[in-house]
C-alpha cells in the first residue's frame, strides 16, 4: 500500500474512533447533504408538527421532509381541520411525494365536553355531524383515512344505558357520512378527566360492535390505557378486531418510549406479530428540550423498534 494512501486511511479511522458512538450516531442521523433515509422502522410511527422543530425549522413542510429523512413513514396532525386549505393541500402533496401515510386528525367539534353525545341533545348531534361532513373534504386534501372522535362527558342525570344508546345513535349517523368515502372515525377512550364518558377499551369495543360499521373503530392510546386499566397487551388482544389505530406515550410524563414504565419494545413486538400495517401516532412530548431532546426521541424509537 502506498504511504500516502495508508496515512489517509489511518487518519480517517482515527477520526471515527475519536468521535465515539454518539458522534457516529449524530453523523448517521443528520447528514443534511443527502435525502437518503437513515433508519428503517418495522412499524409506521407518526410524529407530529413541532416534535423536530429545532432540527428541522419552523416550516411544516421542512418538518415533514425531516421526518421522512429520518425514516418515519407516517404523520399525524390533530389540528389539521383548523389549518387553511392551502396548507392542507401542500402538506398532502408533500406526504404523497415522500410516500408517508397520513394518520389521524381530530374531527372539529366532533363531540366534546361542551356538546357531549351522551346527552342525546339533537343540537349536539348536529354539531358532531357537521364536523363529520367537513372532515370528508379535509381528508381528500391530505389523503387521510382516520379521524379521532371523543364523545364528550357523562350526562350525570341519565342512566348509563340511556347514555350508551344516545352515543351509539349519534355514531351511527356519523358513520353513514364517513363510510361511503372509505373513512373511519376512531373512538379514543381517555384518562384526562373522570367526567369523560369514554374511558376503557371494553366500553369502546361495545360501542363499535353496536354501531356495526367499518367507519367506527377503536383508537387505542397506550398512554391513556396504561393509566386507566393497565394490562396493555392483554387488552389489545381482547379488542383486536375493532382496533384501527394506536397512539403512543410513556407513563408517567407522556413523553417518548424508554422514559417511563411502559415496555414499548414488547408492545411493538406484539402489535407487529399480529400483522398490523397501519399507523402508530407519536402523541407525546419530548422529555428533553432542544435539539438534544429531538435526537433522543429518534434514538428512543430505534431502541424500541429493535425487537
Average pLDDT over the chain, rounded to whole?
Answer: 90
| Predicted local distance difference test score (pLDDT) of residue 199 | 97
Q: Comparing 265 with 20, which gets the higher pLDDT?
A: 265
Q: Comparing 28 with 249, which gets the higher pLDDT?
A: 249
pLDDT confidence of 131, banded at 50, 70, 90? very high
Q: Is the pTM of this model over 0.75?
A: yes
Please give the distance of CA 81 from its chain centroid, rounded to a whole number: 16
pLDDT confidence of 203, banded at 50, 70, 90? very high
Burial class (CB in 10 A: 0-12, 13-18, 19+), 289: exposed
CA distance readout (Å), 21 to 28, 39, 96? 10, 16, 34
pLDDT confidence of 113, banded at 50, 70, 90? confident
| Predicted local distance difference test score (pLDDT) of residue 2 | 44
φ, ψ (nearest 5 deg) of residue 48? -125, 165
pLDDT at 165 exceeding the cut of 70 = yes
Q: What is the pLDDT of residues 54-63, one digit of tens each?
A: 999 999 999 9
φ, ψ (nearest 5 deg) of residue 155? -110, 95
Side-chain-side CA neighbours of residue 175 (13 Å): 19
pLDDT at 284 exceeding the cut of 80 = yes
- Rounded to whole angstroms, how far apart are CA atoms 253 and 251? 5
Helices 122-142 and 160-178 pack at an angle, to 10 degrees, of 40
Q: Please name the residue that has the C-alpha cell 502506498.
A: 2
| Predicted local distance difference test score (pLDDT) of residue 216 | 98
| Predicted local distance difference test score (pLDDT) of residue 176 | 98
Average the pLDDT over each of 17-21, 160-164, 198-202, 260-264 and give the range with the smallest value: 17-21
Q: Comparing 272 with 3, which gets the higher pLDDT?
A: 272
Looking at residues 10-16, what average pLDDT do you find?
A: 41
Nearby residues of 255 by Cβ (< 8 Å), 6 or more positions away: 249, 284, 285, 286, 287
Looking at residues 258-272, what average pLDDT do you find?
A: 98
Q: Percent of the chain scored above 70 by pLDDT?
A: 87
Q: What is the pLDDT of residues 41-76, one digit of tens each?
A: 999 999 999 999 999 999 999 999 999 999 999 999
pLDDT confidence of 288, banded at 50, 70, 90? very high
- Residue 210 cell numbers, joined: 353496536
| Predicted local distance difference test score (pLDDT) of residue 36 | 53
Looking at residues 163-180, what average pLDDT do you find?
A: 98
pLDDT at 25 exceeding the cut of 70 = no
| Predicted local distance difference test score (pLDDT) of residue 37 | 56
CA nearest 78: which of 227, 284, 253, 291?
A: 284
Q: Comparing 76 with 115, which gets the higher pLDDT?
A: 76
The 3-class secondary structure across the chain, one letter per residue, is: CCHHHHHHHHHHHHHHHHHHHHHHHHHHHCCCCCCCCCCCCCCEEECCCCCCHHHHCCCHHHHHHHHHHCCCCEECCCCHHHCCHHHHHHHHHHHHHCCCEECCEECCCCCCCCCCHHHCCHHHHHHHHHHHHHHHHHHHHHCCCEEEECCCECCCCCCHHHHHHHHHHHHHHHHHHHHHHCCEEEECCCCCCCCECCCCHHHHHHHHHHHCCCCEEEEEEHHHHHHHCCCHHHHHHHCHHHEEEEECCCCCCCCCCCCCCCCHHHHHHHHHHCCCCCEEECCCCCCCCHHHHHHHHHHHHHHHCCC
pLDDT at 124 exceeding the cut of 60 = yes
Q: How many CB atoms lie within 10 A of CB 218?
A: 23
Is CATH 3.20.20.150 what the domain over 38-304 is classified as, yes or no? Answer: yes
pLDDT confidence of 14, banded at 50, 70, 90? very low
Looking at residues 105-112, what average pLDDT do you find?
A: 84
pLDDT at 141 exceeding the cut of 80 = yes
pLDDT at 237 exceeding the cut of 60 = yes
| Predicted local distance difference test score (pLDDT) of residue 7 | 37
The residue ranges of every structural domain in the chain are 1-30, 38-304
Amino acid at each position: 500500500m502506498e504511504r500516502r494512501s495508508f496515512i489517509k486511511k489511518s487518519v480517517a479511522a482515527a477520526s471515527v474512533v475519536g468521535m465515539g458512538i454518539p458522534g457516529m450516531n449524530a453523523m448517521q442521523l443528520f447528514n443534511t447533504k443527502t435525502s437518503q433515509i437513515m433508519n428503517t422502522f418495522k412499524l409506521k410511527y407518526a410524529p407530529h408538527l413541532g416534535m423536530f422543530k429545532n432540527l428541522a425549522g419552523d416550516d411544516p413542510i421542512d418538518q415533514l421532509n425531516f421526518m421522512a429523512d429520518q425514516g418515519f413513514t407516517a404523520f399525524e396532525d390533530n389540528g389539521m381541520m383548523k389549518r387553511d386549505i392551502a396548507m392542507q393541500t401542500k402538506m398532502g402533496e408533500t406526504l404523497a411525494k415522500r410516500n408517508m401515510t397520513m394518520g389521524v386528525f381530530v374531527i372539529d367539534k366532533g363531540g366534546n365536553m361542551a356538546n357531549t353525545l351522551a346527552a342525546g341533545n339533537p343540537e349536539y348531534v348536529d354539531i358532531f355531524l357537521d364536523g363529520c361532513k367537513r372532515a370528508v373534504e379535509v381528508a381528500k386534501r391530505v389523503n387521510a383515512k382516520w379521524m379521532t372522535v371523543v364523545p364528550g362527558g357523562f350526562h350525570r342525570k341519565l342512566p348509563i344505558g340511556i347514555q350508551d344508546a344516545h352515543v351509539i345513535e349519534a355514531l351511527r349517523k356519523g358513520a353513514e357520512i364517513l363510510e361511503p368515502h372509505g373513512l373511519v372515525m376512531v373512538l379514543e377512550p381517555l384518562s384526562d378527566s373522570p367526567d369523560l364518558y369514554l374511558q376503557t377499551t371494553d366500553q369502546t369495543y361495545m360501542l363499535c360492535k353496536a354501531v356495526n360499521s367499518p367507519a367506527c373503530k377503536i383508537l387505542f392510546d397506550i398512554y391513556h390505557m396504561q393509566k386507566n386499566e393497565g394490562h396493555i397487551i392483554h387488552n389489545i388482544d381482547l379488542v383486536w378486531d375493532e382496533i384501527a389505530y394506536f397512539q403512543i406515550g410513556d407513563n408517567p410524563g407522556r413523553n417518548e418510549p424508554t422514559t417511563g414504565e411502559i415496555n414499548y419494545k414488547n408492545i411493538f413486538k406484539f402489535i407487529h406479530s399480529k400483522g398490523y400495517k397501519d399507523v402508530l401516532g407519536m402523541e407525546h412530548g419530548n422529555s428533553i428540550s432542544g435539539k438534544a431532546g429531538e435526537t433522543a426521541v429518534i434514538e428512543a424509537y430505534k431502541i424500541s423498534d429493535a425487537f
